[in-house]
């Protein structure tokens, strides 16, 4: 009971507690659930200043300031502030008009940036207009893809259809595999290595030094002992060095990451030779687990006749592939397949879901399986085969043009990733969105990369080099150690 009490000032009230005692509180501090807070939001953050000195138009980058990568400190180069609508916004519609203009400018910037997109393995040639009708639904595939949960707005029927398609591709029967649609390629690696760790809790993880960074992230996350293996100049695992790393640890099981296309050079590890090396070191098939990271080339290799086959008929444990790379989904996603017998080691019943949980994430994007299902149905095996041939043909074209222009360049036999000397101008690198490492850069030739785009790129690169190396004091970098002397066009090896 709250009310005025004898001996209590008018600005104070006596509040009776549950234990029968009373306390006196100030009315100005007493919580009134009907009261309206005068200022419900924090102050607006400062608007990002662009290169021309204005705070408006935050989509433009400040190109005058050198880009920084600083650990432990956020560097805000651009920012689209979230602002509160005006009190009369419902009648004026100013907020809607503002947001529409921002989105229109953003769409324009996406179109422009897509024109110069070469360094990252994304297929930007797709049209999913038919699926726009599904954007109004919150589709969530939580739990096990093969067990219906209490949540009914899902796309498991599409997910399982996609998984069955990949099971046929990688040669494993429906009743022998388990898998799910992941949120990205990294999640596929995290899950594959986690399954290996659960099967062999005391196992050692082996991965070539040119493996994707997510493999070593998994080792840190799971507190696994990890051994880095040397690579050949092509980027594939050096099985001779692999053997020297295995022999001292024969008492412990081996968990191996095999790359079906490395990040920088697109190198494909020789799966058969890896298995042979394990056998030569005394490892029986029940003492090792192989995860195949096929992020990009895992979907391309089956359509290259001379390529080594990735198949569950071989003693591998899991395969993962990205859905937003060669397939061409507009959102990051991936596919992870493992043997059904292995996944039981980490799955748990979840009463809340009325399902089993064996995935990395809880909630999973239910839209991604539909996009994958849609494009797999449209293209099929023959459609992907044509796109693979086109990519390999255009990659050879790019490599030949670069070498003819006197530029160091390398292309692995089974790859569409062309590695070449890193451009000296960082603005050129950003303009073409190139991925770089040391003195190397690369172009990943995807189905959306045309001959015309490659010609524009090479022409601009040749013009740039004429400026960068016009003085004899500056010479193109030597890439003999990175790409092999036969692929290096520096003054020493040309």
The residues that are catalytic are 415
- Per-residue tokens: 380: 């099929």
Question: What is the rounded CA–CA span in Å between residue 85 and residue 82?
Answer: 10
Residue whose C-alpha is closest to residue 117's, from 370, 421, 376, 325: 325
Residue whose C-alpha is closest to residue 399's, from 266, 296, 308, 302: 266
DSSP assignment letter at 76: -
Question: What is the rounded CA–CA span in Å between residue 337 and residue 229?
Answer: 25
Question: What is the rounded CA–CA span in Å between residue 311 and residue 177?
Answer: 12
Quote the distance between the C-alpha of residue 222 and its chain's center: 20
Say how many C-beta atoms besides its own lie within 10 A of residue 61's C-beta. Answer: 14
Question: What is the rounded CA–CA span in Å between residue 46 and residue 290?
Answer: 51
Phi and psi at residue 268, to the nearest 5°: -105, 115
- Per-residue tokens: 132: 């726009």
Helical segments of 247-300, H only? 271-280
Return left, alpha or beta for 261; rule: phi > 0 is left, psi -120 to 50 is alpha, else beta.
Answer: left
Say how many C-beta atoms besides its own lie within 10 A of residue 433's C-beta. Answer: 15
Say how many C-beta atoms besides its own lie within 10 A of residue 34's C-beta. Answer: 4
DSSP assignment letter at 485: G
Residue pair 178/344 in contact by the 8 Å Cβ criterion: no
Handedness of CA 109, 440, 459, 427 (dihedral sign): positive
Question: What is the rounded CA–CA span in Å between residue 145 and residue 179?
Answer: 8
Sheet holding 12-16, edge to edge: 2-3, 12-16, 22-26
Q: What is the largest CA-CA distance in the chain?
A: 101
Which H or E run contains 443?
strand 440-444
Handedness of CA 77, 78, 82, 83 (dihedral sign): positive
**288-293 and 254-259: which strand pairing?**
parallel
**254-259 and 226-229: which strand pairing?**
unpaired
Handedness of CA 294, 297, 298, 304 (dihedral sign): negative
Residue whose C-alpha is closest to residue 336's, from 158, 183, 125: 183
């Amino acid at each position: 009971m709250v009310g005025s009490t004898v001996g209590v000032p008018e600005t104070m009230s006596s509040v009776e507690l549950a234990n029968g005692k009373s306390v006196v509180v100030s009315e100005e501090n007493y919580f009134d659930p009907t009261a309206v807070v005068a200022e419900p939001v924090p102050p607006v953050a400062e608007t990002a200043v662009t290169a021309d000195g204005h705070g408006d138009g935050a989509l433009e980058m400040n190109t005058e300031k050198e880009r920084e990568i600083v650990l432990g400190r956020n560097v805000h180069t651009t920012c689209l502030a979230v602002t509160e609508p005006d009190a009369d916004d419902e009648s004026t519609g100013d907020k809607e008009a503002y947001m529409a203009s921002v989105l229109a400018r953003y769409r324009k910037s996406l179109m422009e940036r897509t024109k110069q997109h070469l360094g990252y393995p994304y297929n930007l040639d797709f049209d999913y207009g038919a699926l726009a009708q599904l954007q109004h639904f919150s589709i969530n595939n939580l739990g096990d893809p093969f067990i219906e949960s209490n949540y009914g707005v899902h796309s498991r029927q599409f997910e399982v259809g996609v998984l069955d398609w990949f099971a046929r591709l990688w040669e494993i029967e429906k009743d022998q595999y388990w898998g799910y649609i992941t949120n990205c390629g990294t999640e596929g690696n995290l899950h594959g290595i986690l399954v290996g760790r659960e099967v062999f809790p005391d196992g050692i993880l082996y991965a070539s030094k040119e493996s994707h960074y997510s493999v070593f992230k998994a080792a840190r996350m799971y507190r696994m002992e990890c051994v880095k293996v040397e690579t050949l100049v092509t980027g594939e695992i050096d099985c001779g060095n692999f053997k020297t790393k295995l022999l001292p640890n024969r008492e412990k099981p081996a968990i191996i990451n095999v790359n079906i296309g490395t990040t920088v050079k697109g190198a494909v590890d020789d799966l058969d030779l890896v298995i042979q090396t394990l056998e030569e070191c005394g490892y029986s098939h029940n003492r090792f687990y192989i995860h195949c990271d096929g992020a990009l080339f895992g979907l391309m290799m089956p359509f290259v006749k001379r390529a080594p086959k990735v198949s569950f008929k071989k003693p591998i444990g899991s395969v993962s592939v990205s859905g937003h790379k060669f397939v061409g989904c507009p959102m990051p996603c991936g596919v992870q397949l493992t043997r059904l017998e292995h996944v039981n080691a980490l799955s748990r019943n979840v009463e809340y879901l009325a399902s089993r949980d064996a995935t990395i994430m809880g909630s999973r994007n239910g839209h991604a399986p539909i996009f994958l299902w849609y494009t797999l149905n449209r293209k099929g095996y023959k459609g992907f085969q044509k796109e693979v041939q086109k990519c390999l043909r255009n990659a050879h074209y790019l490599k030949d043009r670069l070498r003819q222009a006197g530029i160091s360049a390398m292309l692995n036999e089974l790859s569409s990733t062309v590695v070449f000397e890193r451009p000296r101008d960082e603005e050129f690198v950003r303009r073409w969105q190139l991925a770089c490492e040391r003195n190397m850069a690369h172009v990943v030739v995807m189905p959306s990369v045309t001959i015309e785009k490659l010609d524009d790129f090479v022409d601009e690169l040749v013009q740039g080099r004429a400026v960068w190396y016009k003085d004899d004091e500056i010479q193109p970098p030597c890439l003999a150690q990175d790409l092999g002397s036969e692929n290096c066009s520096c003054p020493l090896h040309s």
